[in-house]
Chains A and B, each alone.
Chain A
Amino acid sequence: MEGTEIVEDEGILRPMKCELNHLTMPDGSAMFMQGDTAVVAGIYGPVEARVQKMMYDKASIEVVYTPIKGPPCVDDRMREQIIKETCEAALIATLHPGTAICINVQELQDSGGLLACTVNAACLALINSGLSMKFMIGAVNCMIEKDSQKLILDPDTTQIQEAKATFTFIFDSSKKDLVSCQTTGRFTEKEFLYSFDKCKEASQCVFQFFRSIVTKYATRI
């Protein structure tokens, strides 16, 4: 729906598309596309927690990530953990003690930046579910090219082949602070800080997109 330009010529986020309340059963859901990477997220909650997972002072957050085919592997478990911890930071879990909030994410297509896409989809689904949040979370993916040392924001699968290092940064919307970060490959401190700054700038486009989507749906009711 919106592609947004940043100073560098390679610094363009792929176009984002989103449909809220796409599923009827969950309490909140979102289908989110970033370029060709697409995921569907659904939220159930607050629901009754299982006895082992129940916490008396706050809601327990469960994340289930389902890949397109086969059972979830180690990478998928790690992705679940990252989504869980970032959503825990954003949600005000103490408002619903003794309950569970279940976040289900289904991968539809992976064309690079899957983690960023899942986090953004989870955030939009949380917004749609009406659960109280401290802030929104927005994820941006970037990479450093092996030969040219150039920073590429939101790369696709073919670009990632040439990557020396990839970064996924997740920011909050109120203070624009870093919530979590995932990296692969080898890189210098300078490269890390440079990509951090670029992604921070780009995260504003993600939040702007969230706002435009919610405005579109809010004014219709």
Chain B
Amino acid sequence: MEVTVGDVAMPGDIIKDISTHNTKDKIILGPGLRRDGEVIVASKAGVLRKGQSATYYIDSYQKRYIPNRGENVVGIVTQKVGDIFKVDIAASEQAGLSYMAFEGASKRNRPDVQVGDVVFAKLLVASKDMEPELVCVDSLGKKGKLGVLSSDGMLFTCSFSLVRKILNPECPLFKMLGKEQAYDLAVGMNGRVWIKARSVHETIAVANAILAAEYTALSEMNSLCNRIAKMLLQQR
């Protein structure tokens, strides 16, 4: 079976547009696609999409996280082993987080991280053969948005397709929600979302808004946010 952009591809399907492409053009294959000799074959089920220039990928549904280098994740510290913290990032293996990978950390000045803390970190090493490694600083040694998240927030999980949807710059959800209430938010690519608003009511309302966004079209986001805002006004 051959498929084109916009169709639903199944594992084993041949991607027609790429295979007939000019051989000199550079093509980037995203997740769910692989090359098998002369042809490009889908390895996951989902909608075949084309990004900017010649980037192709399959928009698939997935619940298990497979670490990728450079992605931001929300993890839970599970244990301290010598100089590193073990962090559960919902992948097949726990990730390592060195105590030196925090802003301003030194041998004498250790960061205050306890077992059970929630951290927002970036994957520095993510290879199929090695243990994933996290950092809470950027290459300049600044922490930016990364680091330990405060314990009075709420953590919940959602599907990856929802994470990709709400992190898309074109998605108006966060801007619209932000007009009505203030909140802190950390969205990990591993399907974990941490939020903290001014009150418990608001936190739960924002969490529900995010979860409801999964099956809401971008054009209907506005009415969704208005509904949530109205509900919160009644609560007060």
Shortest distance between the CB of A6 and any CB in chain B (Å) = 19
Known: A21-B61, A97-B129. A136 touches B66 (CB 8 A): no
A218 within 8 A of B: yes
Shortest distance between the CB of B69 and any CB in chain A (Å) = 15
B214 within 8 A of A: yes
Taking CB atoms, residues of chain B closer than 8 Å to A78 are none
Taking CB atoms, residues of chain A closer than 8 Å to B62 are 27, 129-130
Known: A47-B92, A130-B44. A172 touches B12 (CB 8 A): yes
CA distance A95 to B34 in the complex (A): 12
Which of A95, A129, A134, A218 is close to B47, meaning CB atoms less than 8 Å apart? A218
CA distance A215 to B9 in the complex (A): 9
Shortest distance between the CB of B79 and any CB in chain A (Å) = 15
Taking CB atoms, residues of chain B closer than 8 Å to A187 are none
Shortest distance between the CB of B159 and any CB in chain A (Å) = 8
Known: A132-B43, A133-B11, A173-B12. A27 touches B215 (CB 8 A): no
Q: Which of A65-120 contact B (CB under 8 A)?
A: 90, 92, 95-99
Taking CB atoms, residues of chain B closer than 8 Å to A92 are 34, 43
Chain A window 188-221, contacts with chain B (Cβ cutoff 8 Å), 1 for yes, 0 for no? 0000000000000000000100110011011111
Most buried by B among A128, A214, A215: A214
Q: Does B92 lie within 8 Å of A46, measured CB to CB? A: yes
Shortest beta-carbon contacts, A-B, top 5: A130-B62, A135-B12, A174-B12, A133-B11, A27-B64
Taking CB atoms, residues of chain B closer than 8 Å to A128 are 45, 61
CA distance A98 to B132 in the complex (A): 13
Shortest distance between the CB of B14 and any CB in chain A (Å) = 8
Q: Does A217 lie within 8 Å of B43, measured CB to CB? A: no
CA distance A21 to B159 in the complex (A): 12
Shortest distance between the CB of B35 and any CB in chain A (Å) = 13
A151 within 8 A of B: no
Shortest distance between the CB of A132 and any CB in chain B (Å) = 4
Q: Does A27 lie within 8 Å of B63, measured CB to CB? A: yes
Number of A residues near B (Cβ < 8 Å) is 38
Q: Does B93 lie within 8 Å of A48, measured CB to CB? A: yes
Taking CB atoms, residues of chain A closer than 8 Å to B61 are 21, 128, 130, 217-218, 221
B225 within 8 A of A: no
CA distance A117 to B14 in the complex (A): 26
Q: Give 14 A-B pairs besides A21-B61, A133-B11 with Cβ atoms closer than 8 angstroms.
A: A28-B63, A46-B66, A48-B93, A90-B11, A95-B128, A96-B66, A130-B62, A130-B64, A136-B12, A172-B12, A174-B14, A214-B10, A217-B61, A218-B47
CA distance A128 to B32 in the complex (A): 13
Q: Does B93 lie within 8 Å of A132, measured CB to CB? A: no
Chain A window 13-54, contacts with chain B (Cβ cutoff 8 Å), 1 for yes, 0 for no? 000000001000001100000000000000011111000000
19 contacts between A and B (CB under 8 A): A44-B64, A48-B92, A127-B10, A128-B45, A129-B64, A130-B60, A130-B61, A130-B62, A132-B11, A134-B41, A135-B11, A136-B12, A173-B11, A210-B10, A214-B45, A218-B45, A218-B47, A219-B8, A221-B61
Shortest distance between the CB of A88 and any CB in chain B (Å) = 15
Q: Which residue in chain B gives the minimum CB-CB distance to A21?
A: B61
Known: A48-B92, A99-B92. A136 touches B11 (CB 8 A): yes
Q: Does A46 lie within 8 Å of B64, measured CB to CB? A: yes
Q: Does A127 lie within 8 Å of B8, measured CB to CB? A: no
Known: A133-B43, A217-B61. A127 touches B92 (CB 8 A): no
Q: Does B129 lie within 8 Å of A98, measured CB to CB? A: yes
CA distance A99 to B92 in the complex (A): 7
Q: Which residue in chain A gives the minimum CB-CB distance to B62?
A: A130
Shortest distance between the CB of B45 and any CB in chain A (Å) = 5
Q: Does B34 lie within 8 Å of A132, measured CB to CB? A: yes
Taking CB atoms, residues of chain A closer than 8 Å to B13 are 174
Taking CB atoms, residues of chain A closer than 8 Å to B14 are 174
Taking CB atoms, residues of chain A closer than 8 Å to B172 are none
Q: Does B64 lie within 8 Å of A45, measured CB to CB? A: yes
CA distance A218 to B46 in the complex (A): 6
Taking CB atoms, residues of chain A closer than 8 Å to B98 are none
CA distance A136 to B46 in the complex (A): 13
Q: Which residue in chain A gives the minimum CB-CB distance to B43?
A: A132
